[in-house]
Amino acid sequence: MAQPSNYWKQDVLPLSILMLTLVATECTIGIIASGIIMAVNAVSWVQKKAISITTRILLLLSVSRIGLQSIMLIEITSSIFNVAFYNSVLHRVSNVSFVFLNYCSLWFAALLSFFHFVKIANFSYPLFFKLKWRISELMPWLLWLSVFISFSSSMFFSKHEFTVYNNNSLSNSICNFTTKLYIVETNVVNVSFLFISGILPPLTMFIATATLLIFSLRRHTLNMRNSVTGSRNPSIEAHMQAIKETSCFLFLYILNAAALLLSTSNIVDTSLFWSIVLRIVLPVYPAGHSILLIQSNPGLRRTWKHLQCQFHLYLQNRF
């Protein structure tokens, strides 16, 4: 493999530093936010000596995201400074872990949305009332089933290999992209399998529950506006805030599912631009969703503000 020219190094180095900075910032913020969620819910579990369904889901979700974002951070650093990483056994382990934790994150977020939908939404259907009554019993089984599905689907990537051709073209280790060095073969059947088994079920669940929850909240808000006099009502404002948060969750979730499908299917691996875009987009959802969860929970929000104050005091004393 030929050594890159000085022009190539000068052209790629700023891009590498910029991408590493962006991804590292996203992952660090996401790890801190997920760590706060995990710590607050773990303390609540210990104090109450019992664990609720919401606490259980948030703990699993935060642990999976801390692991996922740590792998992203390690992998992006290795991809820039060590191209041999992609041909190592470590890369296969990292690849499987990345897909497994991503699938777990998708499932846990979908189940959290499903649980909130069943508890909050108001639909007058006998089947819905029965589901609302039994959801606490079903949720632990659904969590274990989601872990099993995620693990089974991720094992597909343990045999994933690149077809490598040696030539004298210029190479770049950014984002596992090498100009005319790595030729990635994408199998339509494999892409369909990973989408149907790991991405489509939680995506469908999240879209359906989030959409129905928004519909239920909007209908309830309209009813309150028609029955309550006055220009300002706290309940209406709370419902509108919940609609905005759910809409943001839905947008980030769909964006992440699409980015994950493109990333794991190798469809855009021959494009340096889209490979970089995917590396920057993938950490956005776990970090953004964790921050929104903190903002929507009073206890988590207080802890977040306390840490921000401590950080500002540290900076003032430091400088």
Is residue 14 domain-resident?
Answer: yes
Task: Assess if residue 198 is contained within a domain.
Answer: yes
The residue range of the domain holding 264 is 6-314
- Give the count of domains, the chain: 1
How much is the pLDDT for 184? 42
* 58 contact partners, CB below 8 Å, separation of at least 6: 37, 38, 41, 112, 293
Task: Pick the range with the lowest mean pLDDT from 20-29, 219-228, 264-273.
Answer: 264-273
pLDDT per residue as tens digits for the range 62-90: 999 999 999 888 877 776 665 555 556 67
CA of residue 206 relative to chain centroid, distance? 13
In which residue are the tokens 């309940």 written?
235
Condensed to tens digits (0 to 9), the pLDDT of residues 285-301 reads 889 999 988 888 877 77
As a whole number of Å, the end-to-end CA separation of the chain is 47
The pLDDT, as a whole number, for residue 163 is 38
1 within some domain: no
Residues 201, 142: contact at Cβ < 8 Å? no
Q: What is the pLDDT of residue 56?
A: 93
Please tell me what DSSP assigns to residue 121. Answer: -
3-class SS of residue 78: helix
What tokens appear for 14 in the block?
């700023």
Q: Would residue 113 count as lying in a domain?
A: yes
Grade residue 101 by pLDDT with cuts at 50, 70 and 90.
Answer: very high
Instruction: Compute the distance between CA of residue 289 and CA of residue 112 in angstroms, rounded to an integer.
Output: 12
Give one DSSP letter per residue of 162-223, joined into a string. Answer: -EE---SS----GGG--TTTEE----HHHHHHHIIIIIHHHHHHHHHHHHHHHHHHHHHHHH
Please check the confidence at residue 252 and state whether its pLDDT lies above 60.
yes
- Whether 308 is in a domain gets the answer yes
CATH number at residue 272: 1.20.1070.10
Short-list 97, 181, 108, 104, CA closest to 149: 104
Is residue 319, in this structure, part of any structural domain at all?
A: no
Higher pLDDT, 91 or 63: 63
For 302-311, letters b (16+ CB in 10 Å) and e give: ebbeeeeeee
Answer yes or no: pTM beyond 0.85: no
Domain membership of residue 123 (yes or no) is: yes
Is residue 167 assigned to a domain? yes
CA 230 from centroid of its chain's CA atoms: 40
